[in-house]
Amino acid sequence: MKNCSLKGQPGLGTAVLATVLGLLATSAGATTLADIYAAADRINQQAKESQAKVDALNDETRDIYQDYKIVLQEVEGLRIFNRQLERQVATQEAEISEITENMGKVSDIQRQVVPLMDRNLIALEQLIDNDMPFFMQERRDRLENLRDVLDNPDVAVSEQFAAVLNAFQIENDFGRSMSAYTDEIDVGGTHRVVEVLQVGRVALLYQTTDGEETGFYNKEERRWEQLDDSFQAAVRTGLRMAKKQAGQNLLPVPILVEG
């Protein structure tokens, strides 16, 4: 923009005054010297006002240009931000696609897992029914609770499968444990309250609370039978070991050997 400022031009006021004087000199002399100076002052004032307007326009132009540069910077920043958002959206769309695909696979797995869990439940029930009768009420309650979990549509398949695995793990741990508990059993048609000693799945023994009678569970005959007194001390010691009242030691137990 061309600067129309009158500043910095020495002698401009004098030139204007000379021009005015020249114009007035051609008149009939009716104009006085005061009028001439007054006219020159008005011209100078108008020139100052014009210069002030020009300066204001220059300042406004500079401000607009600065605002324009700021807007350009903001636009570039928005472009960078939009490109970043586009990359993020593309990544999220890829993840959604992968999740959708995996969900389809999960559905296929669920259709295979549900029948498997049903078969495992039947196998677990058969295991308990055919096993030695230790902790029977606890084991049957666990089996019933597991059946309720598998029948509940509000329980996720993953939780159901975990419950099945946990039940099998507990049964598996029984094979490595030694426990003592009080139970009521039938020995030869007589119900007796006894202390039961469970030694893994190797032996299941009992002893009356007065220590006078000792016996074991015959897996072949599926019944409780009385033992002779030769096992009385061993079973008593085993009960104390299971209750953490005695240190672990070798324990003789009756084992049935097929002929």
Q: What is the mean pLDDT of residues 216-225?
A: 92
- Find out whether 224 and 185 touch, Cβ atoms under 8 Å: yes
Strands 190-199 and 203-208: antiparallel
Answer yes or no: is pLDDT of 248 > 60. yes
Please state whether 136 falls in left (phi above 0), alpha (psi between -120 and 50) or beta: alpha
Q: Which residue has the higher pLDDT, 58 or 187?
A: 187
State the pLDDT at residue 5.
41
In angstroms, rounded to a whole number, what is the distance separating the alpha carbons of residues 144 and 129?
A: 13
Answer yes or no: is pLDDT of 81 > 70. yes
Q: Of 111-120, 180-189, 238-247, which one has max mean pLDDT?
A: 180-189
DSSP single-letter state for residue 225:
E
Find all residues with CB under 8 Å of 77, minimum gap 6, and list them.
none
Of 10, 32, 12, the closest CA to residue 21 belongs to: 32
Neighbours of 4 (CB within 10 A): 13
Run of H or E including 134: none
Half-sphere exposure of 100 (CA within 13 A, CB side): 6
Phi, psi of 218 (to 5 degrees): -85, 105
Answer yes or no: is pLDDT of 258 > 90. no
Q: Give the rounded percent of residues in the chain with a pLDDT score beyond 90.
A: 35
* pLDDT tens track for 9-28: 444 444 445 554 555 454 44
Neighbours of 204 (CB within 10 A): 22
Query: Is the Cα torsion angle 195, 198, 202, 204 positive or negative in sign?
Result: positive
State the pLDDT at residue 2.
41
DSSP letters along 171-215, please?
HHHHTT-EEEEEEEEEETTEEEEEEEEEETTTEEEEEETTS--EE
* pLDDT tens track for 23-80: 545 444 446 878 777 878 888 888 788 888 888 888 888 888 888 888 888 888 888 8
Phi, psi of 109 (to 5 degrees): -65, -40
In angstroms, rounded to a whole number, what is the distance separating the alpha carbons of residues 203 and 132?
A: 8
Task: Determine which of 94-98, 133-137, 248-252 has the lowest per-residue pLDDT on average.
Answer: 248-252
State the pLDDT at residue 122.
93
State the pLDDT at residue 107.
65
